[in-house]
Structure 1
Amino acid sequence: MQEQRIWQKYTRLTTSILLTATVLVAPSFASDRNQKQIQGESLLAQVPDSCRQVIARNGLNVRRQPTANSEAVGIIGSARNVTIQSLGENGWVPITAPIKGYVYGGFLGACEAATVPPPTNCRQVAAARGINVHQAPSTDGERVGVVASGRRVTIESIGTDGWVPITVPLKGYVQAENLAYCS
């Protein structure tokens, strides 16, 4: 009988300890886990809105890698909207539009309704299969890359002889006949 009482006390004590540990300790683990997820790199479900606006007065460089020393792949003008992929890490935010790359998050603000018309140097690719970007204004010039149909490009000037220099999303020359004004 005495042995049974000791066993019951031991069972109650063990149950109490386990219950206390579950109630008091588990929320602190959950809190740590949530904090890590918020700071994590690609938790798109936790990004409430993937739209951000460039607030840097002179525009914002888009980098190939998330460092200031990385190659700039383009520039996005002030007050332009970008699509973020995630909240980023170490201040660098990956973006997917209008150029894919990384920007410093300190130069991004909340998106506002688009009250700014497209800039006059904005054009849209009108060719169904996209356009080739060349290093020189000629089909003989080395091909730098391709810009997909419907994508916006930033022209540097009106160009000459049917070729237009562009700076975004790639730097090079495209045939003018394949471009339309941005809408």
Structure 2
Amino acid sequence: MRYTPVTCALALALACFSSGVNGQKPDAEIDPRSVELVQKGEALAATGDYQGANDTIESALVLDPRNRAAYVALAKVAQKQELNGKAIRFYREALKIEPNDVNALAGQGEALVAKGAVEKAKENLARIEKLCVARCAEQVALSATIARGPAPQVLTAKSTTPPPGATKAE
């Protein structure tokens, strides 16, 4: 009789805890609709429809925010649009889900080099070297990108109006 309230409380606590755990999906299980949308987005990006690809892949993230491949695909689309800061942010989100994703580390390293952050890219290369037992393709590609260095900035004149005080040549 003395143990009845204690056992009832423990049984209630166990029932609440176990039902909460049973309702969650495992981290490795990604919504198949999300995976399908990422594939459609990658196909759109391959045809050059970056806006459509971006929208489709973002829809995949709405369905399942744990889809690391969606973050990597968004980062690649951003890189194709030369939005390297945005690409770095998407790669960072993918690395939050899986810190040892060699593909995301290499992509982030390439975007960092494009932004001029070569030292940070070398840190990514060192992490990749630790993760790859033998030389892997990502390691080779990132080391080649670091060796090339950042692309020089090209300034172009987009204005067609003459500066103030200038006369038009006829």
| TM-score (norm. length: structure 2) | 0.29
Q: Which has the higher helix share?
A: 2
Q: Which has the higher strand share?
A: 1
Larger radius of gyration: 1
